[in-house]
Amino acid sequence: MSSACYLQIAIASPLRQHFDYLPPKESSSPDYQPGVRVEVPFGRRTLTGILLGTSQHSDVPSEKLRPALQILDSEPLLSTEIMSLIKWASDYYHHPIGDAMQHALPVLLRQGKAASARCETVWQLSESGQSADINDLKRAPKQAALLTQLQNQADTALSKEDFNQQHSHWRTPLAALIKRGWVNEIKRRGLLSNDVDTDSAPALNDEQVNAINTVVEHADHYQCLLLDGVTGSGKTEVYLGVIQQMLGQGKQALVLVPEISLTPQTVSRFQRRFNVPIAVMHSGLGQRERLDAWLSTRSGEARIVIGTRSALFTPVANLGVIIIDEEHDNSFKQQKGFRYHARDLAVLRARRLDIPIILGSATPSLESLVNVEQERYQRLVLSRRTSTATPPSLRTIDLRGQPIESGLSRSLLEVVGEHLQRDEQVLLFLNRRGYAPTLCCHDCGWISDCPRCDAKLTLHAASQRLRCHHCGTEQSMPAHCPECGSTELRALGQGTERIETTLESLFPNVDILRIDRDTTRRKGAMQAMLDRIHHGKKAILVGTQMLAKGHDFPNVTLVGILDADQGLFGIDFRASESMAQQITQVAGRAGRAHKPGQVLVQTYHPDHPLLQKLLTQGYPAFAKQAIQERRDIELPPYTSMALLRAEASQRALPMAFLSKAYETAIACGSQHIELLGPLPAPMERRAGRYRAQLLLQANERKPLQQLLQKLLPELDKLPEARRVRWSIDVDPVDTL
Ligand code: ADP
Ligand code: ZN
Ligand code: ZN
């Protein structure tokens, strides 16, 4: 073939390669632009792939090549910038290119739907629909099913696609619900509208002004700024100030946050400040909404994009600045499949676009602090809270020998009482949901082990169930001990549900709000509780890390950390860093308005050096010491790590595979690389599978990358590899 042309296509597949195809038979344009979608036959299926490029050569014999079916787009959906970012990430994280590329597309585009925004019809519950009783629909099961779906997502408008996923015939029953006045039909575009009151910026302090100027003065070039400011110091105002300037220059801003659905205030603050279209992207959206947000960002219509991790891959027409809020948060690292770190890739994206990026946190990751130390990032400090309140005072409560009721010491309860007396709010933090982490037989010692994990089943008292928080196994709570038949079953340890129950009996006249995954599962539930808290009446909030993130509770004056010891002796080398971040973040919720805050930390180890450092000298001093330790014992960020994990239903298989992997690594030439393992994972059995791991560590990134490059294709070929499920995690944030 003289004018031979092969299409190189990325297709979601576990293979580490692209696939070659012949051009479609009836192709009118010989001009194949990388970034368009192509429909191709793949085995017996038809899949949508992305055109990476064309070539005059193919390693596949031409009789084996098949023609593509059709080119789906007249212009590229993915810019060369995004394509090369993903290519880089696919190489660095050693994840197949086809699957990595899919992360850049909204689901509807992956499925081959047209890439056009449209004014769509959506449906949302009316007020009477929200309180409608499902039992009234006993004789109309289809209406009941629709109503359930709508009620489960009460604050989202649902589209045709959302209904199609769950129901085959929904138009008629939906019309009936509309007729009852329970559902409203809305025509709209995917963007947030701005009919809200526009509020203006407060007068900024010197540090804020300086921070904004530093970013804006060099807005035409790459620089990475670590905005290190205590909670309530006005970091968000700095973001807003920078964005305002960018908008003035006709540019767009990309803002990544850990979890939007939990912090609706952040989005509404942006909305109130700027009279521009804002696109929001997170997992709580319907598919059509996601596509519209994506398209409007790509076209430049949306001026600000706020999203979680995967929004990083959105093409942005004229990107001026990237902002990563709470940059220390581990949710920026994807933990399965394509294990990329959105913060790290965002820095790369900014560097390639030659634009500024701001990483903001009150508790910066040790990685970022070391990057400042090595002058790769510039640090901007906001040292003061904006409110008149003084920083909270921190104190430990020594639990040894104290009377304790369900995890609440007498000294803590006394102080709680004092704050309530003054009509103030109290926040109690315990990062363990459920009633109790274990159920135990008082007569024979039986314990509620998970049948599928090396873990205990957690007792959930309200629902009378035992649940495994690792694999989801559920059982109803036994009335008798399954071993000896005794009825003396005892709940051991505390979870948030138990604390709530105890508080209800101790403080019968006080509003007690529990905020964890169990109480906020229903859409709108979180917002309803936040509204109650913002009324400001005296209350006790009990919650997990959900409470630590980004909320502003002006009337909370006391924060109690119920169990600081969880993080002190964790197995993962990052456990103490996470503990310090959590304590600091939760403590930062106290005294944000005009009243001084107080923080009490319950511990059995009040003299633990890292805890002492944190409580007496604060997070920066803690971080300094923790960084020193990482350097001394040679751990990230001073070393580069990759974790090879394997699991199988037979115990011997993962170890056999990893032993082979170890030998293969040696054969590949692993000088300068330290190989640790293989070892069973700290929780060896999870969801019925045995897990093991091999840790690879090096002083430099490069030799580690070179080894992985050679090693992984060899592992693909090992017969042992076919008997396990294995994965590679580069820069793991969790080594468990
Ligand atoms: P952070 O993001 O660091 O937690 P925020 O930007 O949310 O801090 O600011 C905390 C509170 O202080 C907000 O209510 C904000 O409106 C207010 N605030 C921020 N900067 C100023 C300022 N310079 N003067 C007065 N109030 C401010
Ligand atoms: Zn028993
Ligand atoms: Zn389990």
Is 362's pLDDT higher than 80? yes
Question: Long-range contact list for 113-118, CB < 8 A, 24+ apart?
Answer: 113/291, 115/73, 115/77, 115/291, 115/295, 116/295, 117/189, 117/190, 117/291, 117/292, 117/295, 117/296, 117/299
pLDDT average, residue stretch 376-405:
86
> What SS3 state is found at 58?
coil
* Residue ranges of E strands in 519-569: 539-543, 556-561
237 lines ligand 1 (CB under 6 A): yes
Residue nearest ligand 1's atom 11 by CA: 232
Q: How far is the CA of 441 from the centre of ligand 2 (A)?
A: 4
Count of other CB atoms within 10 angstroms of residue 306:
25
* CB distance 134 to 144 below 8 Å: yes
* Average predicted confidence (pLDDT) for the chain: 90
Residue type, 279: A
What is the H or E stretch that residue 220 is in? Answer: none
* Portion of the chain with pLDDT greater than 90, in percent: 64
In sequence order, what DSSP letters do the residues of 427-492 get, joined into one string? EEE-S--SSBSEEEETTT--B-B-SSSSSBPEEETTTTEEE-TTT--EEEPPSS-TTT--S-EEEE
CA distance 557 to 500: 19
445 lines ligand 1 (CB under 6 A): no
Is 550's pLDDT higher than 70? no
Per-residue confidence (pLDDT) for residue 443, from 0 to 100 = 95
Per-residue confidence (pLDDT) for residue 188, from 0 to 100 = 63
Q: How far is the CA of 79 from the centre of ligand 1 (A)?
A: 37
Instruction: Report residue 335's pLDDT band, with 50, 70 and 90 as the boundaries.
Output: very high
Instruction: Report residue 9's pLDDT band, with 50, 70 and 90 as the boundaries.
Output: very high
Count of other CB atoms within 10 angstroms of residue 133:
7
Residue nearest ligand 1's atom 9 by CA: 234
- Atom number, ligand 1, closest to the C-alpha of residue 240: 6
Q: How far is the CA of 472 from the centre of ligand 2 (A)?
A: 24
Q: How far is the CA of 528 from the centre of ligand 1 (A)?
A: 23
Q: Pick from 597, 610, 629: which is nearest to 564 by CA?
A: 610
pLDDT average, residue stretch 589-600:
76
202 lines ligand 1 (CB under 6 A): yes
204 lines ligand 1 (CB under 6 A): yes
- Atom number, ligand 1, closest to the C-alpha of residue 203: 23
8 lines ligand 1 (CB under 6 A): no
For 666-681, write each residue's pLDDT tens digit: 999 878 899 998 999 9
Count of other CB atoms within 10 angstroms of residue 396:
20
Residue type, 2: S
229 lines ligand 1 (CB under 6 A): yes
Per-residue confidence (pLDDT) for residue 263, from 0 to 100 = 62
- The ligand whose atoms approach the alpha carbon of 474 most closely is 3
CA distance 547 to 542: 8
Helices (H), 374-522: 410-421, 496-506
Instruction: Report residue 1's pLDDT band, with 50, 70 and 90 as the boundaries.
Output: very low
Is 2's pLDDT higher than 50? no
Enumerate residues 6+ apart whose C-beta is below 8 A from 132. Answer: 147, 151, 180, 182
For 59-108, write each residue's pLDDT tens digit: 888 888 999 999 999 899 999 999 999 999 999 999 999 999 998 999 99
- The ligand whose atoms approach the alpha carbon of 686 most closely is 3
Q: Which of 524-533, 588-597, 674-683 has the highest mean pLDDT?
A: 674-683
Per-residue confidence (pLDDT) for residue 166, from 0 to 100 = 85
CA distance 334 to 294: 20
Is 693's pLDDT higher than 50? yes
Per-residue confidence (pLDDT) for residue 656, from 0 to 100 = 96
Count of other CB atoms within 10 angstroms of residue 613:
19
For 26-69, write each residue's pLDDT tens digit: 766 667 899 999 999 998 999 999 999 999 888 888 888 999 99
CA distance 363 to 581: 6
pTM for the structure as a whole: 0.87
Q: Which of 139-143, 267-271, 652-656 has the highest mean pLDDT?
A: 652-656
Cis preceding-peptide flag for 637 (omega within 30 of 0):
yes
CA distance 164 to 146: 11
Pocket test for ligand 1, best of 212, 244, 386 (most atoms within 8 A of CB): 386
Q: How far is the CA of 435 from the centre of ligand 3 (A)?
A: 17
Pocket test for ligand 1, best of 228, 231, 237, 586 (most atoms within 8 A of CB): 237
Per-residue confidence (pLDDT) for residue 326, from 0 to 100 = 93
For 155-170, write each residue's pLDDT tens digit: 777 888 888 888 888 9
Is 600's pLDDT higher than 90? yes
Residue 394 backbone phi and psi in degrees, to 5: -110, 140
pLDDT average, residue stretch 710-733:
95
CA distance 121 to 114: 17
235 lines ligand 1 (CB under 6 A): yes
CA distance 378 to 369: 10
Q: How far is the CA of 533 from the centre of ligand 1 (A)?
A: 19
263 lines ligand 1 (CB under 6 A): no
Residue type, 264: P
pLDDT average, residue stretch 505-510:
94
